[in-house]
Amino acid sequence: MTLEPLLQASPVIQFHVATVVPAAILGAYILSARKGTPVHRLLGKIWMALMVVTSISTFFIHELNLFYGFSPIHLLSIFVLWGAFRAVAAARRHDIRRHRMTVLGMYLGGIVGAGLFTLLPGRIMYDVIFSDNLGLAVILALAVTAGAFFVHRGFRRTEAELSRGLAEEHDR
């Protein structure tokens, strides 16, 4: 692993990476942790801000110039921005199911999907991570697998909490 390709990249790309990495880590934690607590709300606001800033930063990155400086990845940025609006609106309406599904879609599309795209050969993050060390690639694959497990576990926990909450409402 070498940071040289990232250090040689434009400041916009460096800024983008500086916002997306904490968003990825924080998002995985939030999805696996207990929901509805004050900590969840605070971290959720921070995560949402990171996602919005990260998405906006992509409109200044034109490495793949397919259509007037833009590429299909920019459509994903629009999806994330729209998702941020929907997720916040759903949370304010206490529509937890819609909030949860929107946030999960933002994480899977905006972090996991886009992140996998950056790991294709010829991309900056591919050069950063896989430059000369196959062992690191294995460690990264294990970390991604562990992250997916925790996200799935958090998703299942949320389903159980929602079911319990709906049952309690029904009993009232």
Digit-coded pLDDT (tens) for 149-158 = 666 666 555 5
Mean of pLDDT values over 42-59: 96
Kindly report the pTM of this predicted structure: 0.76
d(CA 80, CA 48): 10
The residue type found at 46 is I
pLDDT-derived band of residue 99, with 50, 70 and 90 as boundaries? very high
- Looking at residue 33, what is its pLDDT? 86
Residue 135: pLDDT band (50, 70, 90) is: low
Domain boundary assignment for the chain: 4-171
